[in-house]
Amino acid sequence: MDLSSLEDNSRNLTVKSVIPEITLTEPCCVGIDEAGRGPVLGPMVYGICYFPLSKSEEVKNLGVADSKTLTEEQREKLFQIIDENKDFIGWAIDILSPNYLSKSMLRRTKYSLNEISHDTAIGLINLLLSSGINVHEIYVDTVGVAEKYQDKLQKIFPGIKITVEPKADAKFPVVSAASICAKVARDKVLKEWKFPENIEFSKDHGSGYPADPNTKKWLADSTDKVFGFPQLVRFSWSTCSNILDNKAVEVHWDDDDDDGDSAAQGTASITSFFTPKNDTVDRQRHPFFRDRHLEHVDSF
C-alpha cells in the first residue's frame, strides 16, 4: 500500500485503488470497517472494499478473514492478494489523523467519535457512487446501535440494500477485506510515523491501547509540561487528560465552565431584594473600551 502522499501526518488522507472496470457495470457488494478506534495513539483508519456480487465465491476462496484474528504478517499477505486481484476488487481508505480526532472531539460543540465514524463511512460510500461504481449491497460493521445506524444509512442511500451488524467483519468476506485494508494502512502509518516535533521519542509505545502498560509508560515519558504530548497522541482520550493533570501545568480555556452551573449563578437569592442598595455605582468605562479590553494601567 503506497501511503507516500501522507506527507503531513496531522492531516487526513484518502487513498484509493484503481477502480476495476467490471465494478462500473456489474452489481457490486461493498464492505466498510474501521481500524484503530480504541487506541490513544495514531490515526483511525476507515476502509471500504468492493467487488462484483458474481465474484463473492472467488473472494471467499482467497481466504480473507476478520483482520482481528490475523497476525500482522497474515494481513499484509492478504492485502497483497487483494491487490493482485485488482481486476475485480477495489478499495479505498480514509486516514483520520490523531490531530483531527483530538480537535474534533474537544471542539466547543463536541463531535463524537461515533458521529465522526458515521460521517466518514457516508463519505466513502459517496466516493464510490460518484466514481460510478454499481453499488447494490452495503455491509457495515456497526458503530453504536446497529438498527439506528442502519436506518440512518438507509435514509441517505435509498435503493441500496444496507446491512449493519455487529461483528460484520467476521460474517461477510467483503467487510473482512475492508478491515484488512484499514488495518494494514493503520499499522503502516504507525510504523512509519515521523514525529513532526524535533524531538527523539522512543518507538517503544506498545500497542497504543490505553490499557497496555507499555503505552501508558510511553505516554508518561513523552509528556511536556507545557505542550502535553506530540501529535501522535489523541488528546481527547481520558488516559491523556489524567496524565496531564498530574504531569503538566494547568491550562484554562474560556469555555472550561460551559457545562457548569451557570444557571444557578444567574438566579439572585430572594433575600438580595431586601438588602439596601449600594448607592456608589461602579463607574464603568465606555463600552468602546470594554469591547476592546482596554483599561488604564498604572502599575505592572
Partner 1 sequence: MASGSVSISQAAISSCPESNRVHLMACEIEHDGEAPVSSYFDKTVREDGTSSGVQDGEKALSASFRGRDLKGCVVNLPAGYTGYVMKEDKRPFTDEEDREMKATHKFSQFTYWNLETPPSNNDAITKAMQWINIASALHGGDVDNQNATPDNIR
Count of beta carbons in the 10 Å neighbourhood of residue 22: 17
Angstrom CA distances, 291 to 2, 285, 294, stand at 52, 10, 8
**Is 141 annotated in some ligand binding site?**
yes
Cα 300 from Cα 280, distance rounded (Å): 27
Q: Is 63 in the site for partner 1 (CB under 8 A)?
A: no
Q: Is 296 in the site for partner 1 (CB under 8 A)?
A: no
Residue 107 CB, nearest approach to partner 1 (Å)? 7
Residue 253 CB, nearest approach to partner 1 (Å)? 5
Q: To 10 degrees, what angle do helices 213-221 and 238-247 make?
A: 40
Give kind and range of the element (H or E) at residue 167: none
Per-residue binding letters, 238-277, with partner 1 (x by CB under 8 A) = --x---x----xxxxxxx----------------------
Out of 86, 107, 148, 161, point to the residue binding partner 1 (CB under 8 A). Answer: 107
Cα 128 from Cα 27, distance rounded (Å): 13
Give kind and range of the element (H or E) at residue 183: helix 173-191
Cα 94 from Cα 117, distance rounded (Å): 11
Q: Is 236 in the site for partner 1 (CB under 8 A)?
A: yes
Out of 80, 227, 242, 285, point to the residue binding partner 1 (CB under 8 A). Answer: 227
Residue 298 CB, nearest approach to partner 1 (Å)? 8
Q: Give the footprint of partner 1 on this chain (CB under 8 A).
A: 8, 10, 99, 102-103, 106-108, 196-199, 224-228, 230-231, 233-236, 240, 244, 249-255, 291-294, 298-300
Which residue positions form the known binding site for a divalent metal cation? 33-34, 141
